Amino acid sequence: MAKKKTGEIRQTEVTIDLVAKAAGVSRATVSRVMNGTAKVSPDLEKAVKKAIAKYNFTPNSTARRLAGGRSGLIALLMEESSEEFFLNPFWGQVVQGFSTAITESGLHPLLLIRPKSGTEDSLFSTLQADQMDGLAIFSWHRPLKSFEKMLDPKLAVVFGGDLGGSKKYPFVDVDNVKGGFLATKHLIDSGCKNILTITGDLKLQSGRDRLEGYEKAISHAGLKINDDLVVHGDYTQSKAEALVRQLIKKKVKFDGVFAGNDLSALGVINVLLQNGISVPEKVKVVGFDDSPMASRNEPSITTIRQPIRELGAQVAASLLAIIDGQVVEDKVLDVKLIKRESSATK
């Protein structure tokens, strides 16, 4: 049996690390080129393809994932109630955007849903760099400083949302202050004088930012903020419904509602209609998200459109860039008012 020439590399020895070294790039970049993922420069793509051709590289998915001691797992962690996660379509679109981007990079997305009442010990034993390559965190309801201290410093981390201003890890968020301002200004421009807001969860930065936008719009219009019209919700439909029932029972007057999200807006509309209060003739309602329910509801819901899938995808892109050795900055995505039946004027 003939021996192989000295220096000849057998196909079984060709790994993604070898290809990456030959091309002068990271493993993640090789994966993106091979999976057709965007955001790879033409020069890098050319170098990777040249190295692939040189070694006639056909990756084995398991070998590719484990080469270099990496797990190949990228986790998305959120702290939410079952109602919020499973009934709010916002989360489905975030997860879809995130998981698609991670899968296209040649890695594997992992979804971790932690109840708000859960303990942290078991969680942090899982969140180690030898268990996963990167971590995206959405909807965290607790102080960040203690959380940051417990994270493995070798782990790539990106926050989905500001989450209270981390100085250690980058975030991708939408302009929630602008969204709250646009929603409230639209109600003012539509003739509303007494505008109620059902806030989001004020433990979350998104809830606080949307409330700030509401307050700015009220002040900008020369109106006074009425504390009776600022009611603390938690982004769930059930909470919004309970709050509006209480307000109606107390005979609190309002002719416009800015709800913290579309799910809350749906709850507001349901209770108003159940009590014979027409929407938008008597009360106009604006939500936030532009989730599928907003356009399908009757009446359809005026809302603030945020790029939900892009939010998930951009968080994934930032994580992949960090794993790639790049320095990543915070990103803020734009929002837009979408007018529909729930705030229509004659």
CATH assignment at residue 27: 1.10.260.40
On the question of a cis peptide bond just before residue 280, with omega within 30 degrees of 0, the verdict is: yes
Q: Do β-strands 256-259 and 284-286 pair in parallel, antiparallel, or remain unpaired?
A: parallel
Mean pLDDT, the chain, rounded, equals 85
Residue 120 · residue 137 · CB < 8 Å: no
Are 127 and 80 in a shared domain?
A: yes
Residue 3 covered by a domain = no
Tokens representing 100? 């698609």
Confidence of residue 3 (pLDDT cuts 50, 70, 90): very low
Domain that holds residue 131: 71-174+308-334
> Which residues is 111 bridged to in the sheet?
76
> Which residues is 302 bridged to in the sheet?
286
Using one digit for the tens of pLDDT, what is the confidence trace for 235-284?
A: 999 999 999 999 999 999 999 999 999 999 999 999 999 999 999 999 99
* 3-state SS class at 231: strand
CATH number at residue 254: 3.40.50.2300
Residue 1 covered by a domain = no
**What domain count does the chain have?**
3
Residue 251 covered by a domain = yes
Are 185 and 225 in a shared domain?
A: yes
Please give the residue that has the higher pLDDT: either 269 or 132: 269
Are 120 and 40 in a shared domain?
A: no
Per-residue DSSP letter, 8: P
Tally helices (H) and strands (E) across the chain.
14, 12
Residue 307 · residue 90 · CB < 8 Å: no
Tokens representing 162? 């500001």
Tokens representing 342? 């729930």
Are 76 and 60 in a shared domain?
A: no
Please give the residue that has the higher pLDDT: either 52 or 229: 229
The segment with the largest mean pLDDT, out of 9-18, 104-113, 293-302, is: 293-302
Residue 158 scores a pLDDT above 80: yes
> Which residues is 123 bridged to in the sheet?
none
Confidence of residue 58 (pLDDT cuts 50, 70, 90): low
pTM: 0.77
Please tell me the predicted confidence (pLDDT) of residue 142: 72
